[in-house]
Structure 1
Amino acid sequence: MFSTGSSANQTQDLSIDGAGYYWYYNGNLTNQKPGTGGGGGGNSEGETSYPDLPTYEAQDWRDFPFWNEYPSSYWTTINKYNGNRKDFRNESIYFTITTRFYDGDPSNNVHCWDGNNPDSDKAWRGDFKGLIQKMDYIKALGFTAIWITPIVRNASGYDYHGYHALNFRMVDERYLSEDVSFQTVINEAHARDMKIILDVVFNHTGNFGEEYLFPMFTKQGTDYGNFSSLVKLPGAPLPANYDSLNHGQQYDARIAAMKNTRNDGSDPNYIYHHYGHFSWESFGEQVAQIAGDCVDLNTENPVVAEYLVKAYGEFIRMGVDAFRIDTLKHISRLTMNNYFFPALYEFARRCGNDHFHMFGEVCARVRGVWNHNIPALSAPFYTWKENKEYPWGDTITNLNSIELAYNDNSSVSNERTSQNAKLNGIAYHTPNYSQSSRVGVIDFPMHWNFQYARDAFNVAVSNDHFYNDATYNVMYVDSHDYAPDCIERMRYVEGTDAWAENMSLMWTFRGIPCLYYGSEIEFQKGKLIDQGPNILLSESGRAYYGDHIEGSVNVSEFGKYSNATGALASTLNKPLVRHLMKLNQIRLAIPALSMGQYTTQGVNGNMAFIRRYTVGGTDSLALVTISGGATFSGIPNGTYVDVVTGQRVNVTGGSLNVSLSGKGNLRVFVLENSSTGTLGKIGETTTYLK
């Protein structure tokens, strides 16, 4: 900041005397740039003095050295998806924790050392081989994309989920079989016209460092369920008596080294953020440690950012189709827009994958769209580019800038809006993406309201203008972390009818539908989703699913199958499963439902809306009503076909009255025209869709 010498236009907190340049950092004001000899001073969150840093600067992602390190022959995709679904909004997503889905290779099963699970249900149980063996089951459900939890090498006492990285450039050995690698997973998915979405973590590592960025430990041997498999590396910044300490003391020593709390130069390159105390709904969310096994990386350090882009770029090169970004809220949008978002999209472009996509987790456990009225910690915020420039280059400058950016976005009244998701009357219009970050988000406001579909619908319709384009929002009811508000710690318990209604909304409304594994049969309903090692995995919302999908199936198309056997056959016949199959078939066939804008104007109904997509030679218009009748006015005349039942109606007066009863039931009247061809009923009649 610059002072004119007058405090008249300054806030009380920033009142200063004397003309000149000043730095406001971590609650302190100084006329000396932090890190240039005087440190940053103390701060309320326990910051230590800054160590001397390398001179490595990157004004933005283009300055990363690695762009010039690889020969032109490197820039290719090993197995690129070559199907017809280029727009990511055409996908429907099945989300699974790989280790809890299906066990294709019992020889790689292993316990976590902090777990108390029986030998018959080791935490590391499912694997890549099992995932491949059950891809046909997922395709039989009608899903086109599979989101899997992180696959990089992990280290913690309970790391079966993959979120505690030790090495971002290695696939964890516990997923692998002699004949199956991660490349095999991608190859097999693409062979089925399916896509792979990889969960990625930029925000943190586990608490054992990172083998390249912050080398303290590596793995040795094959008994990864034993703490002794972790071997301390020579030169690790740990006390001489580390090996004689108990486990709690050892943990404290590792954290002290990573955060440099001893102020002994243990993290001279500032690989980790050194903030001590985490607090919710504050700037600390983006620079402090969120959990004991999640130590906050200094993503503002160009060295860290470049390394992560290179590491995850390798998975793009292998052919991964999309990234789901974990804990996105805990990294400044400014950092993501300056480094990660554009760099990863450029990596994909150079590899020939112009349709690579990313969406992120901006976890806000509130029913409104704004997280405690803090834009910088809310889902819509991350769908936008920056609206002003900030100094950017070296670590200290970047850290200063992200705090300024956070403070600059303290009022929702200043946030931008967009009509990209909304129809202009009844007409589709070309979206304006000039201010888009190009990254979608998980729709946490809908998620938190999905106890009842109507509440989720209302929060979206009222607030979609705050997203750059809400048609890219990923929608789910529950996940590996939370269910909706009121039942947030348990897998969804509102019943089969409520599930059917939620699904009918997700599969026809704007956005991309996503289902957490097992929800198709209400698996583990009412169980606590996650209590770490305090409960058995079999009693949690992360239980092993394989027993329900033993058997085989032949799949001809998405949502169409034959010759199912065993428990898998029984699962495929359950009411919600049949409901899902039909919904997936309908959504895949009607462009308006996947890529269309929407409106509720001229619509009189409980959960009813119009969607339309008009691009090139396609004009797809759908009238949708859920769980009750509706009247649609001001619509084009013509023949409308309900693709749920096959009913045909000729509209001559610009209005259509639709009768409907039954919770979860649905009508989708599509305007028949030259681009649609002759329309009819899609899928079989089901318990709910009839």
Structure 2
Amino acid sequence: MKTKLYNLMLFLMLFSGITQAQIDKMEPPFWWSDMHLEELQIMFYGKDIGTYEVSTEDEVIINNIRKTENPNYVFVTINSGDLAAGDYEFTFSKKGKKNLKKTFELKERTEGSALREGFDASDAIYLIMPDRFANGNPENDSAPEMQEKADRSKQGGRHGGDLQGVIDNLDYLDDLGITALWSTPLLADDDAGYSYHTYAQSDVYKIDPRYGTNEDYKRLADELHKKDMKLIMDYVTNHWGSEHWMIQDLPTYDWIHQFPGYENSNYRMTTQYDPHKSEHDFKYCVDGWFTSTMPDLNQSNPLVLNYLIQNAIWWIEYSGLDGFRVDTYSYNDKEGIAKWTKAIMDEYPYFNIVGEVWMHDQAQISYWQKDSPIGAIQDYNSNLPSVMDFTLHDAITSMFHEEDASWDRGMIKAYDNFVNDFLYADTDNLMVFMGNHDTGRFNEIYDGDFQKYKMAMTMIATVRGTPQLYYGDEIGMRGDKGKGDGAIRQDFPGGWKGDKQSAFSAEERTETQSQYFDLTSKLLNFRKENEALQFGEMLQFLPKNNVYVYFRYNDENRVMVVINNSAEEQTLDLKKYAEGIQDSTSGKEIISGEDIQLKENLSIRAQDALLIQLQ
């Protein structure tokens, strides 16, 4: 009798295990009522789940059931637009098998969620590599379920920075004058090595446990909002990591681009709009993999595109995001990425998305901005509100070496960059920067020359667009990119217990760190309160003797910026700049705090910058 009972219990346990294993994942894991997106596609994953029939006894209307060549998937599209918040049950049935049931929850939407305001030109954005910023919780430095373990001695290893470390240091960002935080990706990346950058994601509905939890990420957004600061997620539409669980068991052969198998991208984004392009070159740009460990997602596959749209909206709604920075935007299928962008902006009309379009020509960058006059030539509209001003970055990383100006050297590079603003649909919605996690550090390029940092940072804080600062530049951090990416992604001093000193603390900063921080803070905090620097018009003058002068102004306020990139002190004849100065006879120089008389002449020291609030 005992043997029969044992066998029966064993059978029930095994049978129960099989049925539970047949629905291993449901994505999205939940959703919200009263969303603009009226149809919701729910993916169910589990062994042979695609061989079951799907039904619901609730008031859910199933619009479509899509099964693929992989029996472990089924995509169920429901009409979610009119459903109230609550639990809804799906039944999976198959002749001769026990029915499976799965509950899907629709949550109440936060009031005003659809009308959230994204980042804009009134903000100053701070970019961090979270693994290298601050380690607030040493207990999660490694995670048993993730391959790579923490090893701070490795330049390309995981060092332990996490979400708690960011939350612990928000006051530092606030003091600096920062109003928005952009972190490189935080979602799970289970690569065996170099997983710290997290661009090769393995689960896009889960924060990497070495950073914290989904709840920690939401808590970061909440803490930022308490300080009137914003959170920008680094979103990757172009590729996932080869360790992604769906890449390991593809829903469809064409979920990723295959040749068959792997071929690398040629990185020639110009093929996206070259009227003379070969189809071979075009395919290898758009369909080629970013690296051998980053399979290229096929946004022309409706299942893939819908999955990416819903995942992006899910993160916005769940964590309370204020913006996206989209990695490798111009490598995507351009029609697919335009639909992805539009779907998000339709859901959140005042949200903002900035795309990484790393090109060196204003017309080619402009092509990717919403309503671009360049894109219109080919009847293309990306719907992307913001792009990154890489041509200004190009100028900044070379022109301060050029003390002896010529026709095309020195400060004329800055002037020429802004001349081409007529190519853009919205110059207020450009991101301007000295460097980021992929470029050389400014302070390395210019060998720690503070005066050159002062000129460049004054420009970044005062030109049109939204300024972005790369973590550590504000304390003079350096790093030789020629020694590898890890060399420009160093640990922030003081972010780890046991560090010799902390740059987070004013009392512990070195003299050099304080010099950089104080200047940056003064510039960004002045900008935070000055609408002319945020959304005002710009008036620029041809540089003379390598001195560049421009004004930012609105009806109530005028600011004069003077940058002397020459090796000698220069004296300006102010009659040339009367159009900008107008009736002002004096001003307050913001960096030094000195009063400035604006009569006939104005002197400026060599390699220096003046920021003058006209009075």
TM norm structure 1: 0.61
Q: Which residue of 2 aligns with 1:467?
A: 424
How many angstroms apart in 2 are the aligned matches of 1:120 and 1:566? 30
2:560 is equivalent to residue 623 of structure 1: yes
What does residue range 463-542 of structure 1 map to in structure 2 within 5 Å? 463-483=420-440, 493=447, 495-526=449-480, 528=482, 530-531=484-485, 537=486, 540-542=487-489
- 1:426-474: per-residue Cα shift (whole Å, max 9, x none)? xxxxxxxx98835211111111222235365134223222221222211
What secondary structure is seen at the aligned counterpart in 2 of 1:634?
A: helix
Please say if residues 142 and 148 of structure 2, whose CA atoms lie closer than 8 Å, have aligned partners that are also in contact. Answer: no
Please say if residues 428 and 535 of structure 2, whose CA atoms lie closer than 8 Å, have aligned partners that are also in contact. Answer: yes
What secondary structure is seen at the aligned counterpart in 2 of 1:608?
A: strand
Over the residues paired in the alignment, what is the CA RMSD in angstroms? 3.9
Q: Which residue of 2 aligns with 1:296?
A: 296
Per-residue deviation at 1:626? 1.9
Q: Which residue of 1 aligns with 2:80?
A: 68
Please say if residues 144 and 195 of structure 1, whose CA atoms lie closer than 8 Å, have aligned partners that are also in contact. Answer: yes
Name which of 221, 224, 228 aligns with 1:186. 221
What secondary structure is seen at the aligned counterpart in 2 of 1:197?
A: strand
How many angstroms apart in 2 are the aligned matches of 1:585 and 1:658? 25
Per-residue deviation at 1:297? 0.3
What code does the residue aligned with 1:68 have? S
What does residue range 196-235 of structure 1 map to in structure 2 within 5 Å? 196-209=231-244, 211=245, 214=246, 216=248
How many angstroms apart in 2 are the aligned matches of 1:69 and 1:86? 24
2:501 is equivalent to residue 600 of structure 1: no
Please say if residues 551 and 566 of structure 1, whose CA atoms lie closer than 8 Å, have aligned partners that are also in contact. Answer: no
Q: RCO higher in 1 or 2 (8 Å CA, sep ≥ 6)?
A: 1
Per-residue deviation at 1:203? 0.5
How many angstroms apart in 2 are the aligned matches of 1:166 and 1:194? 29
Q: 1:302 to 1:415 in 2, by over 3 A?
A: closer
What secondary structure is seen at the aligned counterpart in 1 of 2:462?
A: coil
State how many pairs are aligned: 475
How many angstroms apart in 2 are the aligned matches of 1:130 and 1:508? 30
What does residue range 65-104 of structure 1 map to in structure 2 within 5 Å? 68=80, 71=83, 74=107, 76-77=109-110, 88-104=120-136
Bigger mean CA offset, 181-190 vs 156-165: 156-165
2:330 is equivalent to residue 329 of structure 1: yes
Per-residue deviation at 1:186? 0.5
How many angstroms apart in 1 are the aligned matches of 2:432 and 2:164? 28
What does residue range 570-589 of structure 1 map to in structure 2 within 5 Å? 570=510, 574-589=514-529
What does residue range 115-514 of structure 1 map to in structure 2 within 5 Å? 117-118=151-152, 123-157=158-192, 158-176=194-212, 181-209=216-244, 211=245, 214=246, 216=248, 236=249, 267-268=252-253, 270-275=254-259, 276-281=263-268, 282=271, 283=282, 284-317=284-317, 318-337=319-338, 339-349=339-349, 354=350, 356-364=351-359, 366=360, 369=361, 378-385=364-371, 437-451=383-397, 452-453=399-400, 454=411, 457-483=414-440, 493=447, 495-514=449-468
What secondary structure is seen at the aligned counterpart in 1 of 2:521?
A: helix
Q: Which residue of 2 aligns with 1:3?
A: none
- 1:624-676: per-residue Cα shift (whole Å, max 9, x none)? 2223665312344256533513536588xxxx754322423213233x5xxxx
Please say if residues 95 and 148 of structure 1, whose CA atoms lie closer than 8 Å, have aligned partners that are also in contact. Answer: yes
Q: 1:491 to 1:190 in 2, by over 3 A?
A: farther
Q: 1:602 to 1:173 in 2, by over 3 A?
A: closer
Q: 1:565 to 1:458 in 2, by over 3 A?
A: closer
Please say if residues 140 and 581 of structure 1, whose CA atoms lie closer than 8 Å, have aligned partners that are also in contact. Answer: yes
- 1:295-345: per-residue Cα shift (whole Å, max 9, x none)? 1100122211111111111221121111111001202443332x1221111
2:608 is equivalent to residue 667 of structure 1: no
Q: Percent identity?
A: 21
Q: 1:68 to 1:443 in 2, by over 3 A?
A: same
2:555 is equivalent to residue 609 of structure 1: no
How many angstroms apart in 1 are the aligned matches of 2:173 and 2:288? 38
Please say if residues 492 and 525 of structure 1, whose CA atoms lie closer than 8 Å, have aligned partners that are also in contact. Answer: no
How many angstroms apart in 1 are the aligned matches of 2:227 and 2:141? 27
Per-residue deviation at 1:582? 0.8
Structure 1: segments with no counterpart, 5+ residues: 1-52, 57-63, 217-235, 238-265, 389-404, 417-433, 532-536, 553-562, 673-690
Q: 1:126 to 1:602 in 2, by over 3 A?
A: closer
Per-residue deviation at 1:415? 8.1
How many angstroms apart in 2 are the aligned matches of 1:204 and 1:176? 23
- 1:191-241: per-residue Cα shift (whole Å, max 9, x none)? 1121111111000001124x4xx352xxxxxxxxxxxxxxxxxxx46xxxx
Please say if residues 640 and 648 of structure 1, whose CA atoms lie closer than 8 Å, have aligned partners that are also in contact. Answer: yes
Q: Which residue of 1 aligns with 2:140?
A: 108
Q: 1:662 to 1:473 in 2, by over 3 A?
A: same
Per-residue deviation at 1:492? 5.7
How many angstroms apart in 2 are the aligned matches of 1:145 and 1:593? 17
Q: Which residue of 1 aligns with 2:104?
A: none
Please say if residues 537 and 552 of structure 2, whose CA atoms lie closer than 8 Å, have aligned partners that are also in contact. Answer: yes
Please say if residues 96 and 147 of structure 1, whose CA atoms lie closer than 8 Å, have aligned partners that are also in contact. Answer: yes
How many angstroms apart in 2 are the aligned matches of 1:466 and 1:441? 13
Structure 2: segments with no counterpart, 5+ residues: 1-64, 69-75, 86-106, 272-281, 401-410, 565-569
How many angstroms apart in 2 are the aligned matches of 1:288 and 1:477? 30
How many angstroms apart in 1 are the aligned matches of 2:256 and 2:219? 34
How many angstroms apart in 1 are the aligned matches of 2:334 and 2:121? 23
How many angstroms apart in 1 are the aligned matches of 2:596 and 2:173? 32
What code does the residue aligned with 1:612 have? Y
Please say if residues 493 and 525 of structure 1, whose CA atoms lie closer than 8 Å, have aligned partners that are also in contact. Answer: no
How many angstroms apart in 2 are the aligned matches of 1:215 and 1:139? 40
What code does the residue aligned with 2:346 have? E
